[in-house]
Structure 1
Amino acid sequence: MADEARDYVRESGGLLYLYSLLQTTDFPNIKIAALFCLASATEKNVFSQTLLTQHGVFSIIHGSLHGVTSTDKLRQAAVFLLLCLVANNGQSQNEARDSGCLADLMGMFRKLVTSGNNVISKARQFGLVTSALSVCINNPQNEENQRLCSTLLPHIFSLMMRVSEPQTLCPVLSLVGVMVANNVFNQDRVKKCGGLDTMASLLCNLTNRSGEEDCLTLAVQVVGALDSCLTENDSEKIFCVEE
């Protein structure tokens, strides 16, 4: 959607109409369409983000993510809206945490990671959830959200030991990078759960496949994540040198 169209939807009352529709409709397909329209109209638009950064909107997202009868399509539309609202928006980062949406994302992430090959077969959903977690943590840095999301680190490194597909691991490594950035507590937690060894091993394996473009991209992501883990943390630098 063009910027002019986003502004028109907001100025004509379209955002508030869609919000009202979500509060009243019981039809799943209408909810999915309304969530997607709100996300498209809010993406990269500060004024629309500001208008929708309110507890009621995040309660609707939480209900869509947490609902027992929610379909995968409904959850994906809700995650997309959450992603668009939270990106570069510190107030929305806090609303995501306080409304339970961040906990919902973490639950979805754990379920996908621990469900065997589902993380590969549902790569699109996994990438969307991972991206939403990243924006809840970063730009601006949100230390409380970083702390909460650090509980995912053991699941992340377990995934790295089982899966080698770049399309799965690249967004996960980006998540690790923002989770540990400027956060010594999380950097230490990476080492305690074997993350440095896991990423170093992954990097060594990728050097044997350096002729593959996807593997080269993944290797760059691994180096970036390792760099974030080591920055301003002398003990981890010493650990890596010794290893």
Structure 2
Amino acid sequence: MLKEFALHALGALANSNVLCQQSLCTPELFDELMTFIVDEKTSVNSQTVSISVLLNLVSKNSAGQMLLRETGCIPVLQKLFRETLTKSEIDFFNASLKEKYFLWNAVCNTLAAAVNNPQNKENQTICSSILPHVQTLLEARIQAEIIHPLCLLIGLTVAGNTPVKEFFISMGGLDVLADIFTNLAEDSRQNMPSAKMAVSVTCVMGLCIAQNQQNLILLLKNNGLKLIIDSFSASHNEIVGIIVSVVLQNCTIWAEQFLDKLLAYVSNEVSEMENQGRALGHLKKTKETLTKEQFKREEDEEQGPKTESVVGDSLQKDSDQEKALPKQCSELGAQIYHPSANDELESQLESPGGVVTAPEDERRAQQPPKEEQH
């Protein structure tokens, strides 16, 4: 009894003061606690107190998480977790199991603190071995005393750890959570504890499908978001309103993560298509060229022989002739109004009386000049 009092005091010091927590995180204390826990003479209550001290030492303390792993405490805690409560005992839960339940709850919380806040991937991988037993307990009778600790343990074990998420989903854990949520949602309008448990389940489901494109798509395809919202929105209770806001916040997070994944997927697909397009670019151009030539040939066959070049040559010739016409007219006018010397002589000889009245040049000088006609 004195030892239990001392352990209570140490646990309270570690919980209330960071410096005390760091001073107590020694391999010697962890070994002493493990020795006391596994001793067959140790009572269930003393085991519970000892594990509570471990919980206070590892909570929000990476050094405590590491010591818990290196001193071999995690396997001991896992063994207690499996053996303290079984599915058959939960189905017939009664007052005689309360003492064992407190021990189991302390083990569950300590394992949860060992894997996250801060996240510890090594401890997550080690603790993932108890997830099948967790699923077995989830399939038992739905009770808040069981659902809440298990949801906490599952959520922190899978958070930010893709391999552990895939392991939990592959063994059907997410399907079990979905079934539990459906049952709780149907009862949540009349039963507030069921509504609170449903929120815990949705939080775990969110952690399980976070950054998982396949599960996000399935959630949207099966109208899962609407089901979640409609399950709570019918109530006007203030607490239910808070629950709805939490669910909507989770939905927003899911939607944003899905959008990011979708954009990344589309970008990747476009890049692959561009690469394929470059590789097949020459073949595509050749195909387009052949298609255009075939279409042009078929069109020419329908319209008959071409006359465009002949007409073009004719129009070009006419244009050249029009350009040369002023020059020809000018030369012709010069010939008409500037007769040759023989013509001038014949004109003088044929004048009346055969007398030349004036030389041709003088007569021209006396006459007014005539305008040239073209």
TM-score tier, shorter chain, comes to 0.7 to 0.9
Deviation at 1:242, TM superposition (A): 6.4
Deviation at 1:221, TM superposition (A): 0.5
User: Which of 123, 137, 149 is residue 145 of structure 1 equivalent to?
Assistant: 123
CA contact (8 A) 1:113 1:155 kept: no
CA contact (8 A) 2:90 2:141 kept: no
For residue 74 of structure 1, give the secondary structure of its aligned residue in structure 2. Answer: helix
Greater Cα shift, 47-56 or 112-121: 112-121
Give matches, 1:105-116, under 5 Å. 105-114=77-86, 116=88
Residue 207 (structure 2) aligns with: 228
The whole-number CA distance in structure 2 between the counterparts of 1:237 and 1:123 is: 35
Deviation at 1:41, TM superposition (A): 1.7
- Are 1:94 and 2:72 matched, yes or no? no
CA contact (8 A) 1:44 1:84 kept: no
**Percent identity of equivalent pairs:** 27
CA contact (8 A) 1:177 1:228 kept: yes
Residue 45 (structure 1) aligns with: 17
Q: 1:241 to 1:186 in 2, by over 3 A?
A: farther
Give matches, 1:193-212, under 5 Å. 193-210=171-188, 211-212=190-191
In structure 2, stretches of 5+ residues that fail to align are 223-374
1:79-127 Cα shifts (integer Å, max 9, x gaps): 1100111110000001011112221111111112426326942332222
1:113-154 Cα shifts (integer Å, max 9, x gaps): 426326942332222111111111111000011001111111
User: Which of 155, 159, 166 is residue 133 of structure 2 equivalent to?
Assistant: 155
1:176-213 Cα shifts (integer Å, max 9, x gaps): 11011000011101111110110000001111211211
The whole-number CA distance in structure 1 between the counterparts of 2:219 and 2:40 is: 44
CA contact (8 A) 2:13 2:21 kept: no
User: Which of 152, 155, 166 is residue 188 of structure 1 equivalent to?
Assistant: 166
Deviation at 1:233, TM superposition (A): 1.7
- Are 1:81 and 2:53 matched, yes or no? yes
Deviation at 1:223, TM superposition (A): 0.3
CA contact (8 A) 1:187 1:233 kept: no
Residue 23 (structure 1) aligns with: none
* Count of aligned pairs: 215
- Are 1:164 and 2:148 matched, yes or no? no
The whole-number CA distance in structure 2 between the counterparts of 1:242 and 1:130 is: 35
Q: Structure 1-normalised TM-score?
A: 0.83
1:64-87 Cα shifts (integer Å, max 9, x gaps): 222222210111011110011111
CA contact (8 A) 1:112 1:118 kept: no
The one-letter code matched in structure 1 to 2:27 is: H
In structure 1, stretches of 5+ residues that fail to align are 1-28
- Are 1:218 and 2:197 matched, yes or no? yes
For the aligned residue pairs, the C-alpha RMSD in angstroms reads 1.7
The one-letter code matched in structure 1 to 2:213 is: D
CA contact (8 A) 1:61 1:101 kept: no
Flag the structure with larger Rg: 2
The whole-number CA distance in structure 2 between the counterparts of 1:33 and 1:123 is: 21
Residue 12 (structure 1) aligns with: none
The whole-number CA distance in structure 1 between the counterparts of 2:85 and 2:219 is: 27
Residue 233 (structure 2) aligns with: none
- Are 1:104 and 2:82 matched, yes or no? no
The whole-number CA distance in structure 2 between the counterparts of 1:37 and 1:233 is: 44
1:42-84 Cα shifts (integer Å, max 9, x gaps): 1131100110111001001111222222210111011110011
